[in-house]
Amino acid sequence: MSAATTLNEPFNNLEKLPHSPCVTLYHRNGRVGCGTLERGVMTGRLLHWSAVVSNGSNESNAQSSLPPYVAVLDEADYTSQTIEMLQTFSSNFVAGDEYGPVTDGGGPLRGVLVLSTDPSNVDGVTFPSPEPLTPQGDGTPMEYLSVGSSYEWNVNNNGDGLTFADMSGVPTVYVADSQTAAYLRNVASEQANSISSDLTTAVYPSVLSEFNYYMGPSETTDGTKVTSQQCLEWKDLDGNWSPKCLPLGGNSIWAVAGTPVPLGYTDDENANDNNQDRPTVILSASIDSTSMFHELSPGANTAASNILSLLLAAELLGSSIKDEVLDQLYSRITFAFFQGESHGFIGSRLFVKDVIGGFECQAGNEGIPSVLKRKDEASTVRACLNPLRTDLTFQNLGDIRGMIAVDQVGNLGGGKNLYVQGGTENGFDAFLSEVMIELSANGEYTAQASSASNNNEDGTASLPPSPVSSLVKLSASGAGGVVLTGYDDAFVANSLYHSHLDSVSMSQSIDKDAIAASATLLARSAVAAAYQNENNEVDAATAAAYALNLLPNAVSSSSTTFENIYNCLFSDGNCDAFVKYASVESANDAIHTGFNLGIGQPLGKPPNFYVSVYNHENGQGFVAASGFKYGAMDSSAEDKEDYVKDYGDNENDAILLRPSLLEMSLNGLLNDFLGRGSFVDSNDGTAPDLVDCSSSNDCSSVSYCSSSDSSELATISTCAGGKCICGSRAHYHPAVDEAISPVANEAPGWFTIDENDQGVSAMITEPSWSSFVGVRAYNDAGTGVGIYASISGALFTSICIFVVYRLKKGLVKEKVY
């Protein structure tokens, strides 16, 4: 078990190489990522990339024939420049046929093995960011969605745009195991050194690598680029619809501080005067990350630090201010955790569009009780069947007055300065900036205005990628906000932006105190922002003083809550705390709907914040009606099949959702943290001991949730994280590209392009590749050696058969057999 990795000893082999793949993605206009050219395997001899490029650059070798090879390189060398050199060099040579034919254009380069860096040589090594200098900006499928798309936020990380390169024909995988990587590195160097200077003379035995990673074509047979729309609408040779990809997506989670938002329409009897016609101030964070190798997207600084700071802000707010006080503020405070932000602001754009754009449900499909058998209960949310929305409570949020987002506050580059991006113009945005700077003035960590004051043609300041961009764009600059960041005018150097190394267990350094300080500042800023009235009559100093009075305590990085959630987000995504919250959420849903869907996709250990594909197993809501499942439903459609019944024909009809473990945990945590506002600041200065629970059934008769409030929702108790709290404050909202809609009356997983598509979203999809893909590494003794071995084996077998035959005959003759 402890033997060194090798292919030269029995039982020590790498035939199934442990790895993580570079995955293909389609978008609105084409394809990015890696994969083989066709369904057949691509095989080549392991050669260190530097030797290949160095030898091949000699003019004397220009006419030589390069044998098929797999380039081996260290992760620090995995850049667009290196890949471009390999592709350019390989295209100058004629591919050999030693390991099978290669599709035209493939050349001798058959794949790339990216190896984890030798731990003994990590000091001083710079790891580039695969994102471009203008993340989600110019030259990317998201450029029309960003505010200031030409601003180079990623310049300190040597962002080179590899994320958006089409590397069809260059299947690539990452080998994380250091022992395996060391062996492959040595083999590749030895084989490169032992080959003749023109790289054509084979040396045996050679170690080969075989890639079986077909992820779809780049072009159709007529030369047209394959796009997301084409793979979603793909038809087989018989003309039958056969989709070849799924959109990226999941669920965003939003929750209100104070009395819960009414579930019915605002003119329903359940409406609360304090919840009608109030604007909302949103505190937001992205909850996903990405990398070149999607299975390795730890997102320590780009996702986990954002989530932790916003969660702790919610806990500080919910444990310090009573609901009645929050209800009297001019604006409602809403927390929003947006999914899919790394791939075109998927979650925030759909949420903002639905809230401020006036979501339109097809006639006859609106206001449907999400659980039919509970249609007369106040705890049942309304839904829309087409386009499907499992929860329409967002329609009661009111106008979005402004937004405060948080981004990359876990790595401040060794300093103690936070920065406020945006807010350079007059109005509410400027007030948000001023109040955040005022609130941090006397703290150990201070916030200051960013020097990234590049103004765009429309008068807005450039903003780093964040949910605020969605609000600015979709409101046509009618509403906006600011972003609290750990960087000034560019991402912190070596912050590993969207890298597989953005992990505390690998290369990322996280400042826990900076996250705690950010959480405190976010909570106080939210109160100050909500305190500002319609006419902006409160100055920043007055609003800051009001917030400090209500929130004198600060978040501590040494608290039990901080440490528990930190462990879940940075080390073990399947931690006990997350599993506990998600298990309660699952139990609550099973009791409420009658369907037990269990806990969704795990976060993993270490955590992986890649958004994943969108289907009913991974966050897509669906309709369960009369024994069938639908991604959306339109009973009035003239061309519907006979088996499609009306929603409500069966009393067990329901609209269901299976969020991921992370999403379910966030939903439960927000209900728990913000639900404490029902108890703080009681008359005797104490809060009741909360009743333990494992599901909402255990909370049906708790006394402390009785209330004289006119809203029945204030009396409804639920279970969150093992404690009974009053009212559910958290809700899910679909996070899927605004241009993609589930097909009505079809099973979940079937999508089409929305008829109202504006042509601006990124429309990212992932192809449905085979579960049998993989990479092998093995010894190859050469064709001649193989023939001699086969002949020798056949002769030896014949001799053995003859000897056994004569021996048996002799034993029979001697009567001993």
Which pLDDT band holds residue 441 (cuts at 50, 70, 90)?
confident
pLDDT value, residue 12: 53
| Positive/negative CA dihedral, 203, 209, 212, 215 | negative
Exposed, middle or buried by CB within 10 Å (0-12, 13-18, 19+), for 514? buried
User: What crossing angle do the helices spanning 428-439 and 540-550 adopt, rounded to 10°?
Assistant: 50
Q: Is residue 770 part of a domain?
A: no
Residue 672 sits at the vertex; the CA angle it makes with 544 and 670, to the nearest 5 degrees, is 60
**Residues 207 and 336 grouped into a single domain:** no
Is pLDDT above 70 for 262? yes
**Residues 379 and 502 grouped into a single domain:** yes
More confident residue, 460 or 486: 486
Nearest residue to 690 via CA among 200, 232, 319? 319
What is the average pLDDT score of the chain?
Answer: 86
**Residues 181 and 296 grouped into a single domain:** no
Scored b (16 or more CB within 10 A) or e, 272-293 reads bebbeebbbbbbbbbbbbbbbb
Q: Is residue 717 part of a domain?
A: no
Q: Is residue 167 part of a domain?
A: yes
**Residues 436 and 533 grouped into a single domain:** yes
**Residues 175 and 257 grouped into a single domain:** no
Q: Is residue 233 part of a domain?
A: no
**Residues 535 and 630 grouped into a single domain:** yes
Residue 182: give the domain boundaries.
20-216
pLDDT value, residue 454: 64
**CA distances (Å), origin 776, targets 17, 210, 773:** 5, 5, 10
Helix (H, G, I), strand (E, B), or coil: what is residue 461? strand
**Residues 205 and 269 grouped into a single domain:** no
pLDDT value, residue 712: 47
Q: Is residue 561 part of a domain?
A: yes
Number of Cβ within 10 Å of residue 780's Cβ equals: 18
Q: Tell me which residue has tokens 């909570």.
A: 523
Of 174, 195, 216, which residue sits at a domain end?
216
Lowest mean pLDDT among 105-109, 339-343, 602-606: 105-109
Q: Is residue 310 part of a domain?
A: yes
Lowest mean pLDDT among 51-65, 433-447, 614-628, 732-746: 51-65
Q: Is residue 664 part of a domain?
A: yes
Is pLDDT above 50 for 640? yes
Name the domain count of the chain.
3
Helix (H, G, I), strand (E, B), or coil: what is residue 299? coil
Tokens standing for residue 203: 């040396």
Task: Tell me the C-alpha distance between 66 and 32, whole Å.
Answer: 27
**Residues 183 and 291 grouped into a single domain:** no
Of 195, 216, 237, which residue sits at a domain end?
216
**Residues 198 and 260 grouped into a single domain:** no
**Residues 130 and 26 grouped into a single domain:** yes
Q: Is residue 534 part of a domain?
A: yes
State the average pLDDT over residues 109-125: 81
Model confidence pLDDT, tens digit, residues 278-318: 999 999 999 999 999 999 999 999 999 999 999 999 999 99
Query: How long a stretch of residues is the chain?
Result: 817
Task: Tell me the C-alpha distance between 617 and 601, whole Å.
Answer: 8
Phi, psi values for residue 408, rounded to 5°? 55, 55
**Residues 310 and 178 grouped into a single domain:** no
Helix ranges (DSSP H) in 251-322: 305-320
Tokens standing for residue 640: 């519907």
pLDDT value, residue 53: 79
State the average pLDDT over residues 777-782: 77
Model confidence pLDDT, tens digit, residues 510-549: 999 999 999 999 999 999 999 998 777 889 999 999 999 9
pLDDT more than 90, % of the chain: 60
**Residues 640 and 742 grouped into a single domain:** yes
pLDDT value, residue 55: 58
